[in-house]
Amino acid sequence: MHSPDPLGGTRPTSRDVARIAGVSQATVSLVLGDKWRGRVSERTAETVRLAAHELGYRPNLAARNLRLGRTRTALLVVPALTNEFFAHVHTGAAAVAAQHGFGVVLYPSPDGVGPARDPFASAQAALDGVIASSMAAGALQAFRGTDLPLVMLDSDPADPGASAHVNLDVADGMRRITRHLLDLGHRSFLHMASAVPSWTFDVRAAALAHTLRGAGLRTVRAPLNVADAREAAHLALSAPGPRPTAVICDDDILAVGVGKAAHRLGLRVPDDLSVTGFDDMTLATAVEPELTTVRLPAEEFGRRGMEALLAVLAGEPAPPVTLPVDLVPRGSTGPAPAA
pLDDT tens, residue by residue, 13-72 = 888 888 999 988 888 878 877 777 778 888 888 898 898 888 888 665 444 444 444 678
Calpha distance 33→5 (Å, rounded): 21
Calpha distance 31→337 (Å, rounded): 62
Is residue 139 within 8 Å of residue 115, measured between CB atoms?
yes
Calpha distance 96→13 (Å, rounded): 28
Q: In terms of C-beta density within 10 A (0-12 exposed, 13-18 middle, 19 or more buried), how is residue 236 classed?
A: buried
Calculate mean pLDDT across residues 268-287: 96
pLDDT tens, residue by residue, 61-113 = 444 444 444 678 898 988 878 888 999 999 999 999 999 888 898 888 765 45
Average pLDDT, the chain: 85
Is residue 136 within 8 Å of residue 201, measured between CB atoms?
no
90: left (phi over 0), alpha (psi -120 to 50) or beta: alpha
Calculate mean pLDDT across residues 295-304: 96
What ranges in 4-155 are assigned the alpha helix state H? 14-21, 25-32, 42-55, 61-67, 84-99, 123-126
> Is this model's pTM higher than 0.85 or not?
no
Q: Is the pLDDT of residue 252 over 50?
A: yes
Quote the pLDDT of residue 70: 61
> Looking at the DSSP assignment, which residues form a beta bridge with residue 74?
104, 129
Calpha distance 291→280 (Å, rounded): 8
Query: Residue 134: pLDDT band by 50, 70, 90 thresholds?
Result: confident
pLDDT tens, residue by residue, 153-162 = 999 888 877 8
Phi, psi of 186 (to 5 degrees): -75, 140
Query: Residue 146: pLDDT band by 50, 70, 90 thresholds?
Result: low
Calpha distance 5→163 (Å, rounded): 22
